[in-house]
Amino acid sequence: MISLMIAIPLLFAFVSIVFKGLAKYALPFIVLLNILILLIASTPVVENIGGWKAPFGISLVLDDASYYVVLVVNLIFLLLSLIPQIIDKGYDTIILLLLTSTNGLVLTGDLFNSFVFIEITAAAAYILAYHRNNPYGAFKYLIIGGISGSFYLLGTIFSYVGAGSLNMAHISNNSFGQLTAAIAILFILGLGVEAKLFPLAGWVPDVYASGSSLTPTILGTAITFAIMYLTGRIFITVLHGTFLDVLYILGLLTVIVGEVAALRQDKLLRALAYSSIAQAGLVVAAISLNNIDSLTGAYFHSMNDLTAKFILFPIATVVIKGFEKDRLAGFAFSVASFSLIGFPLFAGFRSKLLIISSAFSAGNYILPAVLFFASIVEAAYLLKWNIKLWFEKSDTSNNIPWNLKTIVLVLSILLLIIGIYPDLYLDASRKIAQSILDTQGYINSVLGGI
């Protein structure tokens, strides 16, 4: 059943090569179908492709974690499909492909399979990044993405050598001494590029600021969230927390570097790209603390971040004349910024609070300090942009499509609601965190009785 979530988009992607323009209209229905499948599914579901039982075949796993992640990813695609204006011409097949691979990435219980999906995702991303005026950025992304992909593959091979299987649950069930470290290093390098970790991910600003509103909107939200899930799954569920300290250090570095680098940007999109880097670093650092509260906080924060970014990125590309005539868009933009900074009443505050309190409970006094520093810097440049856009003098409006306006408005109100009543996001992220931490449960549900 859940394999349909991968198969159907893939099928339509093929079909849309011939029937141009079909994808655009099919996308909402496909996503809705996916969501429908999710709604009737009850976790955990393990589906073995081709009838081979785990650990021998490829299995798709829908446990609590992947359930909510897939749900979020599909909801984002749903929102995206409601604003077809920002999907550039000729890119709709890619979107379908991206949907396929992201769903696969999250659902798969097989390392090699996840490599394949990562590569498809990356390939789709390269194409997305190859915007008219940004070939060089896409090229750089292609190079570094390719390298990281090979490292990921190498990691997969090493685990196969060690465990004799590619199944995540099976690998998790075996311990293989020295080899674990090698695998962990390879995965850090493999995932670090996609997870936007400093100094591996130099591609982000160039690609995000390519000028297309589609690229950052989808890469910075759905894909990032899926990668964050994968990071947690591989390093915590599969590798039992090996090398989390390296991730922790890289994460903190990313937070600081991302925020400081954003300070001087004179292009809004680039500044937002850096903010996205920094938030990803924060999430990775919080994941690396490896306890239930910090993981909950991390995924909660990631969800708040993607909600805010889904508002910020499209508006940032559309709005050039300021908010004087587009007050509603401006309102949404400001709310999203305040949520990113983490003012009380807004969603970001709740997740930051959770991360801080979990860090303190874990005896970690550095992460909060870094987080505070980052928030101050972030506040400075985000507010600068807000003020700048609000006070731009203009007589005409920016021609923001009504559906985009509605969506960002709804999302900004959602941010306010989450700020006051966070349970909606909090429950989902707690489920994700629990299920990622529950290694034994994962193994049992995938491998069954073995």
Partner 1 sequence: MSQLLLILFIGSFLVYLLTRMNWIIGVLANIGLAIYSFYRLFTFKVGTSESIFSLIVNQNGTLVYSELSKFFGIISLIVAISVYFFLINWLEKQKNRAVFNFFLALITASTLGVFFSGDLLTLYIFWEIMLLFSVLLVQMGKEDSKKAALNYLTISLIGSYMYLYAVFMLWNRYGTLVIKDIVQKISVETSIFKWAVLILIAAAGIAKSGIFPLHTWLRTTQGSSPDAFSAILAGQLEKLGAYMLVLTVAVFPSLKMFPVLYGGIPVFNYVLIVLGMISILIGTLMAIKQNDMKMLIAYSTVSNSGYILIGLATMDKIGFAGGLFHAFNHAIASVMIFLSFAAVIYRTKTSKIDEMGGLIWKMPLTFITYLVGIISLAGIPPMSGFISKWMIFVVLVKKGMFLTAAAAFIGSVGSFLYVFRPLAGVFLGQLKSKHKDVKEVPIFMLIPMLVLVVITVFFGVIPGPVLNMITAVEKELNIQPLEHTMTVIKSSVGQWNTLTVFTMFAVGFIIAFILYMVFPKAKRIPLTNQYTAGEFLYNYDLYHYSTRFYAFFERLYEKHPSVEKLYEMFGKFFKDIGEFLNRWFYSASPSAYLLWFSIVLLAIFWVRW
Rounded alpha-carbon distances, angstroms, from residue 233 to 104, 179, 182: 14, 18, 17
Which of 91, 198, 225, 442 binds partner 1 (CB under 8 A)? It is: 198
138, containing H or E segment = helix 135-163
Question: Is 144 an interacting residue with respect to partner 1 (CB under 8 A)?
Answer: yes
Question: Is 415 an interacting residue with respect to partner 1 (CB under 8 A)?
Answer: no
CA distance 35 to 147: 34
Residues 303-342 that bind partner 1 (CB under 8 A): 338
Question: Is 387 an interacting residue with respect to partner 1 (CB under 8 A)?
Answer: yes
Question: Is 389 an interacting residue with respect to partner 1 (CB under 8 A)?
Answer: no
Q: What is the amino acid identity at position 413? A: I
Question: Is 5 an interacting residue with respect to partner 1 (CB under 8 A)?
Answer: no
Only segment of 24-32, 88-96, 189-197, 315-323 that touches partner 1 (CB under 8 A): 189-197
CA distance 348 to 300: 9
Which of 343, 398, 409, 416 binds partner 1 (CB under 8 A)? It is: 343
CA distance 163 to 124: 31
- CB 286 within 8 Å of CB 195: no
Which of 7, 32, 181, 450 binds partner 1 (CB under 8 A)? It is: 181
DSSP type of residue 53: P
Q: Binders of partner 1: how many residues, by CB under 8 A?
A: 57
Length of the chain, please? 450
Question: Is 188 an interacting residue with respect to partner 1 (CB under 8 A)?
Answer: yes
Question: Is 394 an interacting residue with respect to partner 1 (CB under 8 A)?
Answer: no
Residues 365-384 that bind partner 1 (CB under 8 A): 365, 368-369, 372, 375-377, 379-380, 383-384
**Which of 15/185 has CB closer to partner 1?**
185
Minimum Å gap between C-beta 6 and partner 1 is 30
Question: Is 208 an interacting residue with respect to partner 1 (CB under 8 A)?
Answer: no
Residues 260-279 that bind partner 1 (CB under 8 A): 260-265, 274
- CB 329 within 8 Å of CB 405: yes
Instruction: Give SS3 for 61.
Output: strand
DSSP type of residue 221: I
Strand partners, 61: 46
**Neighbour count for residue 319 (Cβ, 10 Å):** 20
Question: Is 246 an interacting residue with respect to partner 1 (CB under 8 A)?
Answer: yes
Can you state the angle between helices 4-18 and 22-40, rounded to 10 degrees? 170
Minimum Å gap between C-beta 344 and partner 1 is 4
CA distance 225 to 105: 11
Minimum Å gap between C-beta 407 and partner 1 is 24
**Which of 173/429 has CB closer to partner 1?**
429
Question: Is 345 an interacting residue with respect to partner 1 (CB under 8 A)?
Answer: yes
Question: Is 139 an interacting residue with respect to partner 1 (CB under 8 A)?
Answer: yes
**Which of 24/431 has CB closer to partner 1?**
431
Minimum Å gap between C-beta 285 and partner 1 is 16
Only segment of 27-35, 111-119, 238-246, 430-438 that touches partner 1 (CB under 8 A): 238-246
For 10-133, where are the E strands, in sequence order?
45-48, 59-62
**Which of 85/150 has CB closer to partner 1?**
150
Only segment of 41-49, 138-146, 166-174, 427-435 that touches partner 1 (CB under 8 A): 138-146
Question: Is 56 an interacting residue with respect to partner 1 (CB under 8 A)?
Answer: no
Rounded alpha-carbon distances, angstroms, from residue 234 to 115, 156, 191, 227: 12, 11, 10, 10
Question: Is 416 an interacting residue with respect to partner 1 (CB under 8 A)?
Answer: no
- CB 295 within 8 Å of CB 412: no
Q: What is the amino acid identity at position 225? A: F
Question: Is 200 an interacting residue with respect to partner 1 (CB under 8 A)?
Answer: yes
Burial of 112 (0-12, 13-18, 19+ CB in 10 A): middle
Positive or negative, the CA dihedral 158, 246, 426, 345 is negative
The set of residues, in sequence order, having a beta carbon less than 8 Å from that of 240 and lying 6+ positions away, is 172, 175, 439
Residues that bind partner 1 (CB under 8 A): 139-140, 143-144, 147-148, 181, 185, 188-189, 192-193, 198-200, 202-206, 243, 245-246, 250, 257, 260-265, 274, 338, 343-345, 349-350, 353, 356-357, 360-361, 365, 368-369, 372, 375-377, 379-380, 383-384, 387-388, 391
